[in-house]
Amino acid sequence: MPISKTYLSEIMARAEKAKDKKAAMGPDIDLERYTKHIERGKIESLESLSHQAKEAAILTGISLEEENRAGSYMQVDQSVVYESLNKAYEGQLEIMNITSALEKYDWMEDYFWKSVPADQDKYTAQAALHMTHGYFIRIFPHQKPQYPVQSCLLVAENNVSQNVHNIIIVEEGAELQVITGCTLSNTDAEGIHLGISEFYVKKGGKLFFTMIHNWADNFHVRPRTRVVVEEDGSFVSNYVLLKPVKSIQSFPVAHLKGDRASAKFNTVVYGLKDSYIDLGSRIILEGKDTRGESVARTIAADESTIYSRGDLVAKTKDYCLAHLDCRGILFSSRAKIYAIPQLVSEGSVKAELSHEASIGPIAEEQVEYLMSRGISRDDAVSVITSGFLNLDIPYIPEFLDQSIKDVIKATAEDAL
Amino acid sequence: MLKVEDLWVSVGDRKVLKGVSFSMNYGEINMLFGPNGAGKTTFMMTLMGFPRYKIEQGRIYFKGEDVTSKDLYERARLGLGVSFQRPPTVRGVTLKKIVDIISGRSGRENIDADIDRLNLSGHLERGLNDGFSGGEMKRSELLQLMVQRPDLVLIDEPESGVDIENIALVGEAINSLLGKDKVKDPKRSAIIITHTGYILDFVNADKGYIIYDGNMLCRGNPRDILSEIKKYGYRRCAECR
């Protein structure tokens, strides 16, 4: 049974009121510039994508052969072109586009626009009023598939506003890994990607979520993410951005509602060209004995500007523990990094919140130390930079490791 | 193997070495003594080629080649190696990573026995010197040098920050690095800075030198020099000048 029309009308009404509401952070984007709408047909397999689309998808961690994947979801511009579930995992999880999920399940009312407010700003409003699908992934109670689900949200056309709404539900005691690649197949494209993500991790569930963003010079991105974690649940987010972007602003929130819930955000950002990057995370510790950790490694090269934010907010009267580790390296005298850690304790007398934040160059002492072992200056810078960005992120494919090295090599000459 | 002619070196605004001349042959192990701030580490770091140590005058010849203006990594590739007194921490770059890179260049493989001997198997996946104790740092330095296999090893205070138990381990590792635990390798040489002389219990040094106020003064049997220093300190060096 579909979601109730009354509920949908309420959402629309709220969104309608917010459609001109500027966001609290990031440059304001004129959404009317991006009005092109393209309908595309389904494809038989990911191998049937265009050459450019395949290349772009691979670079965000997508396996075209779907090897070692529990399932796949692919969207090009506004159309869902591919959805599949590996037969071995039937009965363990379901994957479909969100439009179908809203048609199928009336209980979606408990999740759809329940954690992210539709009237947060003009971008959430646009995504509510003009939703162009998005994925729905639900893993059934106590299921733990060996391999991740992959999703790719690709923009191929110029002047498109891709307004996706994604929902992941990890039912009680289940564990799920998701790899999401968001990218462009035409690197000259102008446009915007609005991604609403609402993730729900139920009691004792675990969600490992890896997102790789590969955008380009003329593209804006405004994700809005909120994760609700129940007792004994755990959420791990790995986010990687190594390509230029016109502007991106995102501040995902993990709400640790249940006792002993935990969240960890790992963020790796390499700012190139004149990219405007405003990223961060907020962890709200509401349950007792909740744990949070937010680790960010940022490098700003060229004329890029990076805001690296992190908020830890303690609300429980009981013990909770959270740490913020935010470090940046400036590779260029024209680049900027703003590291903004914030610790908030709202009457949480037992909360232990801490942070360390630093911005600095690559230490010459470290470079010379490696050179004294016979390593050239460029190679020493490359090794140190790779090490700086290496957060031992689980489930990151080998190609990404190589991609990090390639980007670093290209910019190493300007490093010192 | 090494010849230093009239070396004048400044660090920042301070003139540290004031006309040091020195030479040594293949296979020699030389100990360097001297009070704090006399120029021992400056001498070593200048030999290695660290840019902070500015050569104002003089020349350095290594294996017959003038290396005075050669870059740090070029000297390392020619066969110079250094063990730091206090190496920097390089977070994110594991000991294993650096050992693999050095091994790729030197061709030295099968280092598991060395890792075990130095008791470093649990440190391979840790960031270089990140949270290492004094002894662990020295052992990590020596492991890297064992893989690098330099012809001339410069070791800055191998005993500092190392407990008694680990001094034996470090001393044996230095002997192994220099090939002294096997048939004597005539090519492997060393200059070792020491304050305490503990290392002389493990390493059979050929000569000892004192650096005092930027000059190389005495040369002689390292044990005799150490015994003099223990008896009189360095105050008689001023009279020798």
Q: For residues A268 and A413, state if they share a domain.
A: no
Alpha carbon of A257 to those of A8, A201, A234: distances in Å? 26, 10, 11
Tell me if A373 and B101 make a contact (CB, 8 A cut-off). Answer: yes
- At B182, the pLDDT band (50, 70, 90 cuts) reads low
Q: For residues A322 and A294, state if they share a domain.
A: yes
Tell me whether residue B115 is exposed, middle or buried, using C-beta atoms within 10 angstroms of its C-beta: 0 to 12, 13 to 18, 19 or more. Answer: buried
Tell me if A388 and B50 make a contact (CB, 8 A cut-off). Answer: no
Q: For residues A339 and A389, state if they share a domain.
A: no
pLDDT in tens, chain A (416 residues): 899 999 999 999 999 999 999 999 999 999 999 999 888 999 999 999 999 999 999 888 888 999 889 999 999 999 999 999 999 999 999 999 999 999 999 999 999 999 999 999 999 999 999 999 999 999 999 999 989 999 999 999 999 999 999 999 999 999 999 999 999 999 899 999 999 999 999 999 999 998 989 999 999 999 999 999 999 999 999 898 989 999 999 999 999 999 999 999 999 999 999 999 999 999 999 999 999 999 999 999 999 999 999 999 999 999 999 999 999 999 899 999 999 999 999 999 999 999 999 998 889 999 999 999 999 998 898 889 888 887 666 556 666 666 565 655 555 444 43
Q: For residues A252 and A380, state if they share a domain.
A: no
Residue A269's H or E segment, with its range, is: strand A262-271
Nearest to A193 by CA among A227, A151, A165: A165
How many helices (H) and strands (E) are present in chain B, helices listed first? Answer: 8, 12
Nearest to A287 by CA among A306, A263, A307, A259: A259
Nearest-Å Rg of the Cα atoms of chain A is 21
Sheet strands (E) in A272-409: 276-285, 290-300, 305-314, 320-330, 336-345, 351-360
- State residue B235's pLDDT score: 77
- At B178, the pLDDT band (50, 70, 90 cuts) reads confident
**What's the mean pLDDT in B159-181?**
83
Q: For residues A73 and A191, state if they share a domain.
A: yes
| Encoded amino acid at A208, one letter | F
Tell me if B92 and A390 make a contact (CB, 8 A cut-off). Answer: yes
Contacts of B71 in chain A (CB under 8 A): 371, 377
- How far is Cα of residue B67 from the mean position of the Cα atoms in its chain? 18
Residue with token string 């995102």: A250
Q: For residues A384 and A347, state if they share a domain.
A: no
Higher-pLDDT residue of A229 and B233 is A229
Q: For residues A133 and A196, state if they share a domain.
A: yes
- State residue A69's pLDDT score: 92
Tokens, residue A45: 């397999």
Q: For residues A247 and A348, state if they share a domain.
A: yes
Tell me if B102 and A369 make a contact (CB, 8 A cut-off). Answer: no
Q: For residues A367 and A351, state if they share a domain.
A: no
- State residue B44's pLDDT score: 96
* Residue B83 C-alpha, separation from nearest chain A C-alpha, in angstroms: 9
Contacts of B88 in chain A (CB under 8 A): 363, 365-366, 369
For A77-126, the DSSP string reads TTEEEEEEE-GGGTTTEEEEEHHHHHHH-GGGGGTTTTSS-TTSSHHHHH
Q: Does A360 touch chain B (CB under 8 A)?
A: no
Nearest to B171 by CA among B159, B183, B182, B186: B159
So what's the ipTM on this one? 0.95
Chain A residue whose CA is closest to B141? A373
pTM of the model: 0.84
Residue with token string 């209980």: A107
Tell me whether residue B18 is exposed, middle or buried, using C-beta atoms within 10 angstroms of its C-beta: 0 to 12, 13 to 18, 19 or more. Answer: middle
Fold classification of B2-240 (topology level): Rossmann fold (3.40.50)
* Residue A289 C-alpha, separation from nearest chain B C-alpha, in angstroms: 28
In this complex, the residue of A368, A373, A389 whose CB is nearest that of residue B50 is A368
| Encoded amino acid at A93, one letter | L
Q: How many residues does chain B have?
A: 241
- State residue A48's pLDDT score: 93
**What's the mean pLDDT in B8-34?**
94
Strand-pairing partners, residue A296, are A267, A326
Buried b (16+ CB within 10 A) or exposed e, B170-197: bbbbbbbbbebeeeeeeebbbbbbbbeb
A 10 A CB-CB count for A84 gives 16
Nearest to A369 by CA among B85, B79, B166, B36: B85
Tell me if B93 and A383 make a contact (CB, 8 A cut-off). Answer: yes
Q: Where are the alpha helices (DSSP H) in chain B?
A: 40-48, 72-78, 95-106, 112-117, 134-148, 164-177, 222-232, 235-240
Q: For residues A13 and A113, state if they share a domain.
A: yes
Residues A184 and A219: beta-carbon distance below 8 Å: yes
The total number of structural domains in chain A stands at 2
Tell me if A374 and B88 make a contact (CB, 8 A cut-off). Answer: no
Q: For residues A65 and A168, state if they share a domain.
A: yes
Q: For residues A22 and A167, state if they share a domain.
A: yes
For B40-92, the DSSP string reads HHHHHHHHHT-TTEEEEEEEEEETTEE-TT--HHHHHHHTEEEE-SSPPPEEE
Higher-pLDDT residue of B204 and A370 is A370
Q: Which domain holds residue A399?
A: 363-416
